[in-house]
């Protein structure tokens, strides 16, 4: 409709009153204007053969007024699906107060709970649906909405909206004639993920009806599958049970008009080690599935060992790649301020590194510290041998581990605030029970977090499960942890043979003032390099000339050291 959202946002009262009357009229008559169902699609080339349609990503644009109306329907349906007739607990996608971290934590916890046992294994099928959102049968969707308890009025309105749905595709700056949409939910509509979640909500019950067993979390709770929108994991503790779930899934897809992409569906067998038996094979609809050692689930690389050593390397590589792009941006811009460099690091580099870090990184805190030092070494042309603790003190930067601990505490409090039937809470409670009987950090996230409580001198708080008390002590805990980290860095600097002079040069806690000077970047680089260089191996640039020498070499003029 070519109406910017900002125009609707700043409408005067008369305009808002008009839209209110229009929406009420639609609700009353259960009929939407035909133009509301029109969609424009832009095909964005991804990679591969440009003549193949599957190598393009479709970006759909709906009318702004349509999206505003469906947002209202979305809010009403959400209230129903969260408070009156909740969606299945195994579904975390596009739900208020839930996110990718929920499923990452749940999967990691269940893996740990099985691998801690002798010869324990967990069998997982990572299922990829082929164009799941685009293949939904409309008639079946309306029936499922009705069975779920959604208002008949809302269903009638959606039926009317979808019955007139068309799409025009932009090709060579021209739009095609409207094409009728007979299947799938509308792209670009906020309501579509919610409709899909309701459509697939009965999958867990279907597995139960087909005699598929749960994987136990504790004596009371278990889980058969895990969903994030259309990202599905089937879980089993034996190969036979996983194959049974795959067979049941095939029956479900036939009944519900869905299709599994066999090539992208992968099997992982989580175990402590040992060679996998070549006899173990899995099939979907008589097609053999690949068994892999690693799988990227919701942005985190899971390994068959159940550990995150490869994930840490993967996240370091991703953040290093992001750092390279940031450095490219900085090299092309005239902005040499410290604030810009620091802000870009935090928003574009560190944010990539610490995604999900509260779950995966607690055993790899030292490894991930390298990202910060590499970034600033490159920007300020510091020697590759410059120690990380020197860099942190010069810049007044927190360790990455401080940020991770803060995120982990926030996640811990969030779980403690969850109702007792939430899966992350159930998983945490089980791990907390095991803390009392084992000190094995490898397969228990709670024990790893407990060690950070101890480092922060708040081990007394660990036994308290009241989220309000933990929350009220977070600042003190982080301050103590930060102080210990700084003291550790400072002690290493005092005893350093790399640059014994630096200890007397460091004048302030935090970043040195010269970084804020309005001078060319080459001046800042020279000052910082002189301060942070090795006291024996001297090297710096002036006017693109590299001056370097070994302080223990004989002087060319007086033959003295």
DSSP letter for each residue of 447-491: HHHHHHHHHTT-HHHHT---HHHHHHTHHHHHHHHHHHHHHHHHH
Let me know whether 136 and 258 are in one domain. Answer: yes
**Look-up of token digits 């049941």:** 248
- 3-state class (DSSP) for residue 220: coil
Phi, psi (deg, nearest 5) at residue 223: -150, 140
This prediction has a pTM of 0.92
Last residue of a domain, one of 303, 325, 354: 303
Let me know whether 290 and 333 are in one domain. Answer: no
Let me know whether 182 and 57 are in one domain. Answer: yes
Q: Are 418 and 424 in contact (CB under 8 A)?
A: yes
* Residues in contact with 353: Cβ distance below 8 Å, sequence separation at least 6, in sequence order: 315, 316, 318, 319, 368, 371, 400
User: In total, how many domains does the chain have?
Assistant: 2
pLDDT above 60 for 561: no
pLDDT category at 52 given cuts 50, 70, 90 is confident
**Which domain range does residue 198 map to?**
5-303
Q: pLDDT tens across 495-553, in order? A: 999 999 998 888 778 899 999 999 988 899 889 998 998 887 777 777 777 777 777 77
Question: For the chain, what is the radius of gyration of the CA atoms?
Answer: 29
Is residue 539 within a helix (H) or strand (E), and if so which, with residue range? strand 537-542
> Angle 531-533-537 (CA atoms, 0-180°, nearest 5)?
140
- Per-residue confidence (pLDDT) for residue 85, from 0 to 100: 81
Let me know whether 367 and 298 are in one domain. Answer: no
Let me know whether 290 and 345 are in one domain. Answer: no
Let me know whether 265 and 332 are in one domain. Answer: no
Specify if 526 maps to a domain. no
Q: Are 509 and 493 in contact (CB under 8 A)?
A: no
Q: pLDDT tens across 151-207, in order? A: 999 999 999 999 999 988 888 788 888 889 999 999 889 999 999 999 999 999 999
Let me know whether 213 and 285 are in one domain. Answer: yes
């Amino acid at each position: 409709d070519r109406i910017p959202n900002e125009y609707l946002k700043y409408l005067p009262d008369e305009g808002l009153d008009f839209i209110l009357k229009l929406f009420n009229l639609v609700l009353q008559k259960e009929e939407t204007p035909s133009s509301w169902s029109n969609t424009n699609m832009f095909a964005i080339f991804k990679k591969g053969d440009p003549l193949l349609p599957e190598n393009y990503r479709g970006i759909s644009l709906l009318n702004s007024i349509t999206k505003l109306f469906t947002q209202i329907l979305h809010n009403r349906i959400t209230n129903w699906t969260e408070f009156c007739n909740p969606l299945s607990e195994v579904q975390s996608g596009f739900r208020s107060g839930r996110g990718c971290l929920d499923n990452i934590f749940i999967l990691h916890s269940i893996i740990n709970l099985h691998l801690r046992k002798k010869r324990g294994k967990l069998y997982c099928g990572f299922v990829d649906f082929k164009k799941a959102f685009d293949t939904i049968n409309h008639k079946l969707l309306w029936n499922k909405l009705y069975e779920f308890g959604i208002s008949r009025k809302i269903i009638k309105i959606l039926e009317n909206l979808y019955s007139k749905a068309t799409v025009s595709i932009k090709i060579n700056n021209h739009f095609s004639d409207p094409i009728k949409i007979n299947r799938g939910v509308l792209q670009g509509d906020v309501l579509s993920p919610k409709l899909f979640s309701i459509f697939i909500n009965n999958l867990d019950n279907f597995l139960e009806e087909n005699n598929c067993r749960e994987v136990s979390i504790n004596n009371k709770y278990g889980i058969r599958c895990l969903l994030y929108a259309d990202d599905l994991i089937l879980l089993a503790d034996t190969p036979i049970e996983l194959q049974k779930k795959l067979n049941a899934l095939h029956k479900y897809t036939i009944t519900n008009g869905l299709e599994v992409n066999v090539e992208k569906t992968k099997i992982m067998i989580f175990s402590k080690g040992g060679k996998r038996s070549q006899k173990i094979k899995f099939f979907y609809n008589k097609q053999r599935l690949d068994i892999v050692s690693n799988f990227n689930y919701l942005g985190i690389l899971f390994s068959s060992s159940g550990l995150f050593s490869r994930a840490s390397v993967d996240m370091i590589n991703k953040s290093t790649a992001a750092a390279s792009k940031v450095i490219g941006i900085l090299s092309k811009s005239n902005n040499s301020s410290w604030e810009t460099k620091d802000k870009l690091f935090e928003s574009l580099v560190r944010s990539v590194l610490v995604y999900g870090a509260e779950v995966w990184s607690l055993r790899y805190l030292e490894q991930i510290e390298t990202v910060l030092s590499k970034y600033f070494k490159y920007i300020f042309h510091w020697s590759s041998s410059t120690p990380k603790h020197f860099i942190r003190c010069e810049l007044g930067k927190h360790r990455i581990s401080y940020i991770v601990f803060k995120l982990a505490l926030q996640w811990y409090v969030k779980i403690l605030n969850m109702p007792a039937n939430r899966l992350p809470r159930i998983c945490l409670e089980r791990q907390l029970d095991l803390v009392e009987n084992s000190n094995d950090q490898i397969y228990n996230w709670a024990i790893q977090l407990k060690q950070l409580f101890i480092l922060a001198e708040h081990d007394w708080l660990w036994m308290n499960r009241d989220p309000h008390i933990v929350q009220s002590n977070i600042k003190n805990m982080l301050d103590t942890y930060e102080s210990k980290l700084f003291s550790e860095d400072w002690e290493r600097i005092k005893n350093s043979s790399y640059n014994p002079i630096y200890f007397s040069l460091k004048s302030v806690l935090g970043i040195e003032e010269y970084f804020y000077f309005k001078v060319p970047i080459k001046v800042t680089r020279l000052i910082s390099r002189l301060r942070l260089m090795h006291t024996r191996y001297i090297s710096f640039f002036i006017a693109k000339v590299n001056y370097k020498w070994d302080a223990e070499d004989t002087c060319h003029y007086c033959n003295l050291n």
